[in-house]
Amino acid sequence: MVSPLTHKLLRDLWRMKGQAIAIGLVIAMGVMLQVMMSGLVTTLEGTRDAYYDRYRLTDVFAPVTRAPAHLVASLGQIDGVARVQDRVVGAALVDIPDRAAPVQAQAVSLPADGAAALNATYLSAGRMPDPARPDEILLVEGFAKAHGLAPGDTLVATLNGTRRALSIAGLAQSPEFLYIAAPGEMVPDDSRFGVIWMGRDAMAALFDMGGAFNEALFALTREANKPAVLAEIDRILDPYGGRGAYGVEDQYSNQFVSEEIRGLKGSSNTVPPLFLAVAAFLLYIVIGRMVQSEREEIGLLKAFGYTNAEVGAHYLKLVLIIATGGALLGCLLGIAGGRGMVQLYLQYFKFPFLLFRLDPASFAIGVMASILAASGGGLLVLRRVFALTPADAMHPPAPADYSRSGRIGQGIANLLDQPSRMVLRRITRQPVRMAGAMIGIACGMALSGSMLSTFIAFEDTLDTTFTVIDRSDLTISFAGPVQRAALHEIATREGVWQIEPVRFVPAILRNGRHTHRGSIQGQPTDASLSRAIDTNKQAIPMREDGLILSTTLAAKLEIRAGDTVTVEVRDGRRPTLALPVAAIADSFFGTPAFIELGALNRALKEPGRVTGAYLRIDPGKRDEITQWLKGLPMVAGVSIKAEAETAFRKVMNEGAGSSRYVMGVLAFVITYGIVYNAARIAHAERARDLASLRVLGFTKGEAAFVLLGELAVITLVALPIGTLLGHGLSQLIMAAFSTDIYTITLGFEPSAYGNAALVVLSAALVSGLLVKRDLDRADLISALKTRE
């Protein structure tokens, strides 16, 4: 048999169904993000670790210029090394018939016996190459699909100056290449960069590595002391041009995967709790107003023998039903959203498969956090229920003391008509209640404004990178350092308007215990095609007396302008330099370190050397120039900036970066829910007063004005407060999105908060129209009766 309190609970839920749904949606959005983001973290981490383990991703990489094969035995004797595998790697240019520009690729040798002890390949189509057929290769799957290639097709490529026709035996993927981007670029693009696996003997012959290797791979024991192992590897390989051994944590592909996971963790720890806090605040207001309006009913229930616990449980059940319903809906939406995001991540990271895995802990945390947050607000209200005695509750509440607020705005009130004075008196006489509604709407404004600021920040970062920092049209890279005079032939080519040399040197930068493995970029003093810029987007001239570090790199090394950084050069004579930090530059992608080109070459005792160049060209001759560059023996790669920008925008808008759009949609939904609740609460509080006005002769429009005018004033006052809150929130969101790989910077964006204000105002307009419709339909007799 259903108890009377259960009947009342069902009636209350039906009566406030609009508010219950709105609050439930706010909770659902928070739980959805919690479940979706935590599930994505679990999915990416679990799949990555399983993939690494099954296909034996190496623990340490050790590049070297050219080392004899007999060193492998010595490397295997290092304490802590479980297994060693040597190989040959090199650059390749792939000739795609329908593309003028050459397509870059990385060539990697397969073990002579075909069985890779480390960094094994996942064969997705075809078969492994026949060791007896040196021209057979494996091709990375993404590149093959981008160009319509399949096993059995022929690929023409230039490797170390030798043009070869290669037969595709199979398509493959590898844990070493989860994230594939061309050298010098940050964005994956399957159409512009690929990976080729070729037999060891064929690779050795092409790259002059007979009886030698240029990279060693290491698996370590569980007890290994990695720093000691790295130091010993470097000691053995240094005489042969060792470039510095490094762990898998510094490997290019793994860095991107790990940073994406870290970013997801940061977002999941920042945004969902905020949404749940807003929901708890809304529930507190709604239930608090309900208890206030039902004083007499609470008194009657207690008079009939219901205990404080039973009456309190009734209102707590109301809170729990709304919170639980929203949490369960959020879980379902989180699973659906996570499955959708997984498909986007498959375009971004090259996993053989990626199935969304629900993190049971996140499911439980999302549900429990939403229930606890909502219950926390409800329990604060239940104190009022316990404090009411039947005698007190059955009497109307004592009239509020307006003696101190009655004259507030009196001068203005004399200039207003009667409905406007009612609005003003309500606001001035109940400031705490009005402040609660105002803060709620300000939170909605903050959510929308912060997400719109995020969208603008992404666009501004891309525009600054590809128009202010990089002003070139093409970037060319050479197979190795060449004399600067070699650029003369390119500079005099018809259609080449400007050429600017550059030299990249691999290096390890140290500041105390802080270390960064990367490169130093040498450029002319007056570099104009690729520039370092300050916070005002003004060019910083290259310095001979020190390095110019990016903000991200300076933060990583915990170093400031004027400090000294130790630079261990891993090329040529490999000197160790102590260089002052001359300036800090704004940079959004990567962690560059700049120095004047001549000063870099003098430090290396290799005058006049460059490893590439930036070009500004006649757009009408781009295909002709890139086709010509493809035939130059010294050119190892050509990158077209327009294609790189298009690829980056695609990743940001369709790949992993699209998660910001999901968060934006949720923010807008929550904003509407907050404003709608504010309007409904105000209506519930004043239904009797407004009915009284109608009986006294006020028109429907005048009665609605008293209520909607109050909502309008609160909304307008909330907009500037929401703007301030939104700017602070956007800083937190940007910090969650930014990683060591890329940094999203944010200034104050007036257009973002202008559009956010339009979202809030449109929500207020829609909510006002819905409330006015209910006012017009109200039964005046029922509204004026004392509730029983």
For residues 643-648, give the mean pLDDT: 77
User: pLDDT (tens digit, 9 = 90+) per residue, 535-544?
Assistant: 788 888 898 8
Strands 547-550 and 593-596: antiparallel
- pLDDT bucket at 291, cuts 50 / 70 / 90: low
Q: CA angle 43-46-48, nearest 5°? A: 100
- pLDDT for 443-495, tens place per residue? 778 877 877 787 777 778 778 888 888 889 988 888 778 888 888 888 888 89
Structure tokens at 337: 């959203």
Asked if 522 and 528 count as a contact pair (C-beta separation under 8 A), the reply is no
What is the predicted pLDDT for the residue at 82? 93
pLDDT score, position 73? 92
How far apart are the C-alpha atoms of 371 and 24, rounded to whole Å? Answer: 11
Per-residue confidence (pLDDT) for residue 386, from 0 to 100: 64
- The residues spanned by each domain of the chain are 89-205, 430-469+646-788, 470-645
Average pLDDT of span 701-717: 80
The pLDDT value recorded for residue 788 is 42
- Cα 453 to Cα 172, 268, 334, 456, 612: the distances in Å are 41, 19, 24, 5, 37
Distance (Å, rounded) from C-alpha 194 to C-alpha 142?
Answer: 8
The whole-angstrom separation of Cα 560 and Cα 580 is 10
What does the pLDDT average to over 258-265?
Answer: 80
- Across the range 104-124, mean pLDDT stands at 86
Q: What is the pLDDT of residue 452?
A: 79
Instruction: Map residue 70 onto helix, strand or coil.
Output: coil
The pLDDT value given to residue 221? 92
**What's the pLDDT band for 195 if we cut at 50, 70, 90?**
very high
Q: How confident is the model at residue 752 (pLDDT cuts 50, 70, 90)?
A: confident
The string of pLDDT tens digits covering residues 125-134 is 999 998 888 8
pLDDT(721) > 90: no
Look at residue 770 in the predicted model and tell me its pLDDT: 81
Tokens representing 689 are 């007063």
Q: Mean pLDDT over residues 513-531, rounded?
A: 88
pLDDT for residue 660: 59
Residue 661 has pLDDT above 80, yes or no: no
- Percentage of residues in the chain having pLDDT higher than 70: 83
pLDDT > 90: percent of the chain: 17
Pairwise CA distance, residues 200 & 563, whole Å: 46
Give the pLDDT band of residue 173 (cuts 50, 70, 90).
very high
Q: What is the DSSP string of 149-183?
A: --TT-EEEEEETTEEEEEEEEEEEE-GGGSS---T
Q: What is the pLDDT of residue 614?
A: 93
List all residues 6 or more positions away from 385 whose beta carbon is below 8 Å from its beta carbon.
291, 298, 308, 311, 312, 315
Q: What is the DSSP letter of 250?
A: G
pLDDT surpassing 90 at residue 71: yes
Confidence grade of residue 138 (pLDDT, cut at 50, 70, 90):
very high
- In the predicted model, is pLDDT for residue 76 greater than 50? yes
Tokens 């090329």 appear where? Answer: 571
State whether residue 93 is helix, strand or coil.
Answer: strand
Structure confidence at residue 787 as a pLDDT band (50, 70, 90): very low
Pairing of strands 103-110, 89-95: antiparallel
User: Residue 624 — pLDDT band, cuts 50, 70, 90?
Assistant: confident
**Burial tier of 328 (Cβ tally within 10 Å: 0-12, 13-18, 19+):** middle
| pLDDT of the residue at 275 | 67
Helix (H) or strand (E) holding 702: helix 700-737
User: How far is C-alpha 323 from the chain's CA centre?
Assistant: 28
How is residue 604 written in tokens? 């290396």
Mean pLDDT of the chain: 80
User: Which comes out higher in pLDDT, residue 387 or 575?
Assistant: 575
**175 within 8 A of 119, measured Cβ to Cβ:** yes
**What is the dihedral sign for C-alpha 691, 693, 694, 699?**
negative
Cα–Cα distance between 438 and 713 in angstroms, integer?
A: 9
Higher pLDDT, 633 or 175: 175
Res 132: pLDDT? 84
Do 440 and 282 contact (CB within 8 A), yes or no?
A: yes
- Looking at the predicted structure, is the pLDDT value of residue 329 above 70? yes
pLDDT digits (tens, 9 = 90+) for 395-410: 655 555 555 544 545 5
Is 519 exposed, middle or buried (CB count within 10 Å of its CB: 0-12, 13-18, 19+)?
buried
Reported confidence tier of residue 285, pLDDT bands at 50, 70, 90:
low
Q: Using alpha carbons, list the distances in angstroms from residue 622 to 105, 472, 497, 626.
A: 21, 12, 12, 6
Helices (H), 520-640: 551-557, 597-604, 622-630
In three-state secondary structure terms, 588 is: coil
| Alpha carbon distance, N-terminus to C-terminus of the chain | 23
Q: pLDDT tens for residues 22-50?
A: 777 777 877 887 888 888 888 888 889 99
